[in-house]
Amino acid sequence: MASAFAHVGIGYALGKTFALPIQGWRLWSLTVLCCLLPDADVVGFFLGIPYEHMWGHRGFTHSIVFAFLAGMVVARLAVPRVPVWTGLYGMSALYFFLVTLSHGMLDAFTDGGLGIAFFAPFDSTRYFFPWRPILVSPIGIAQFFSEWGMSVLLSEFLWIGLPVGLWLAVLRIIGKIGPGKAQEEKRIE
């Protein structure tokens, strides 16, 4: 898997890209939740669920179906007063769907593990992308502060941090983000 830093970095870039009806603490706390939620499946290791099982690590919680369901539920939490079948709700649901989906997509670019069950629960086949430049992150904090962990951070900086930074610079240049931009637009808090 990619580290939590990489997943949150992608979520941050998506949050700065979308024109959303929410901002502030609600947007960013729900974004972080969606970035990290797929890895809740690591609890399966402690429950005896085999890694390769659909409910194992990188199984159902990394799937497109799970991302869709998470997007719909989290959008309801994000914009509780907005009617479900409106454009504002739809944009929020799409955003949270993409943030959740980005987790599995990023993990499919790593060089370790058994792959991602993108099509679970309909198909439990695990997939990787053909190009896998990101070093797989260790599971557990103790291992993260090792030579392996430092190599992972360097890999993620190169393959995720630099592209995210470049994307944010492009957004700033075209005027999508910048100081005071959130105050200029009407938002729902």
Give which of 113, 88, 118 is closest to 101, Cα–Cα: 118
**Under a CB-based contact definition with an 8 Å cutoff, are residues 134 and 2 in contact?**
yes
Q: What average pLDDT does the chain have?
A: 89
Number of domains the chain is built from: 1
**Residue 108 located in a structural domain:** yes
Helix/strand/coil for 99: helix
Full residue range of the structural domain in which residue 30 is found: 4-184
CA distance 4 to 39: 9
Q: Which residue has the higher pLDDT, 104 or 145?
A: 104
Q: Is the pLDDT of residue 185 over 60?
A: no
Q: Is the pLDDT of residue 183 over 80?
A: no
Q: Which residue has the higher pLDDT, 78 or 176?
A: 78
Q: Is the pLDDT of residue 41 over 90?
A: yes
State the Cα angle at 106 between 104 and 35, rounded to 5°.
65
**Residue 158 located in a structural domain:** yes
Instruction: Find residue 116's DSSP bridge partners.
Output: 127
Helix/strand/coil for 35: helix
- The alpha carbon dihedral of 58, 63, 67, 69 has a sign of negative
CA distance 23 to 165: 21
As a whole number, mean pLDDT of residues 34-50 equals: 94
Least-confidence region, from 9-13, 15-19, 137-141: 137-141
- The answer to whether the pTM exceeds 0.75 is yes
**Residue 20 located in a structural domain:** yes
Q: Phi, psi at residue 186, to the nearest 5°? A: -75, 125
Q: What pLDDT score does 118 carry? A: 98
Q: Is the pLDDT of residue 1 over 80?
A: no
Considering only CA atoms, give the Rg of the chain.
17
In this predicted model, what pLDDT tens digit does every residue of 51-108 receive, in sequence order?
999 999 999 999 999 999 999 999 999 999 999 989 999 999 999 999 999 999 999 9
Give which of 77, 79, 98, 97 is closest to 88, Cα–Cα: 79
**Residue 133 located in a structural domain:** yes
Helix/strand/coil for 116: strand
**Residue 189 located in a structural domain:** no
